[in-house]
Chains A and B, each alone.
Chain A
Amino acid sequence: MTTGYAPLLESLTRLRGIRGAMVVSAEDGLVVAESLMGGIKGPSLAAMAASLTSRASELAVKAGLGAPRFLHLQAADGSLLVAPASSDLVLVAVAARDVPLGLLRLEMLRMAERLV
C-alpha cells in the first residue's frame, strides 16, 4: 500500500459502518492504495468504481451538471461512495447499511481535496 495515503484511508475506515476505503486511479481503474475489510475484492472495487465514475461523469457533463464531485450508489446491502479528486485519483468507500451518510460524504469531500 502506498504509505502516503495510509493516514487518510485509516481516518476514513475508522468511521462507523465503513467496510473499506481506497484511492483509485481514475483512468485505469487500478488500486493506488487501499484499506479493506476481509471479503472485499480490491481490484474489483477499484475497477467498478472507476468505470461507474467515468459513465456518471459523461452523463453529468452532458446534462450540464459539470464534473461530479460526489457519487453515491445506494444498494440493498450497502453503499458505494466515490469522491473524485482533481488529480485523476478518486477516493472510494464502501459502507454497510445504516451508516451516517451525511457525515461520511462531508469527510470524503474534505479528504478528496487533500489527495495529490
Chain B
Amino acid sequence: MRAIEPWVLGPLRTFVAESSARIALLMTTSGQVVAQHGFTGALDLMAAAALGSGIVASGSELAMEMDWPPFRVVAHQGERQSHLLAWFDTPRGRWIALIVFGNETKLGLVQVFFDRMVDELVSAAPPEASQRREVLAADFERELNTSLRALFGR
C-alpha cells in the first residue's frame, strides 16, 4: 500500500481490510495517483487513472445533459471481478476512487466501507499548500512507474 501523503494510509488500510477490496486506487480528477493498494502489477496505473477520471467526467456531463444530479458512483459487475468508480470531495479537492473487488465480498459492503473511508479522509486531511502536493504527486508517479518497470520489465 502506498500513498503520497501518510494521512491517507490509515483510512485506506481500514477500507481494504473491511471491504476485502482487491485493488484500490485513489486519484485526482486530472488522473494523478494519490494512493494505491493491491496487486496492481497487471494495471497500467497511469492509463487506469486517466480512464477512470474520464469516465467520471463523462458521467457528469451525461447527467448534466439529462438535467440530473451528477452520478457519484458507477459500478460494473463482472463474472469474477467487479469494480466501483466514485468521486468524492476532500479538503484537497475532488478525488476519484477505482475499487476492484471479487466474489468474496459484496457491492453493498464495498459501498458502505467506501463511504466511511471518505468520511475518514475528509476528517484526516491536514491543510497544506496545493503547489507542494502537485510536486509530491509527480514524484510518486515517477517512483511508482520506475518500480513497476523494474518489477515487470515494462
**A-side interface residues toward B, CB under 8 Å?**
24-25, 27-31, 43-44, 46-48, 50-51, 54
Contact = CB atoms under 8 A, between A and B. Distances in A.
Q: How large is the interface on B (under 10, 10 to 19, 20 to 34, 35 or more residues)?
A: under 10
Contacts of A48: 109, 112
Interface stretch (B40-48, B52-60, B100-108, B121-129): B100-108
B107 A28 contact: yes
B27 to A, nearest CB: 24
Contact of A44 (B77, B105, B106, B112): B112
Contact of B111 (A24, A43, A51): A43
Interface of B is mostly: helix
A111 to B, nearest CB: 21
Contacts of B112: 43-44, 47-48
Contacts of B111: 30, 43, 47
Contacts of A31: 108
Given A30-B108, A43-B112, 5 more contacts: A28-B77, A29-B107, A31-B108, A43-B108, A44-B112
Interface in B75-127: 77, 105-109, 111-112, 115
Contacts of A51: 105-106, 108-109
A46 B110 CA distance: 12
Contacts of B105: 51
Nearest to A50: B106
Contacts of B109: 29, 47-48, 50-51
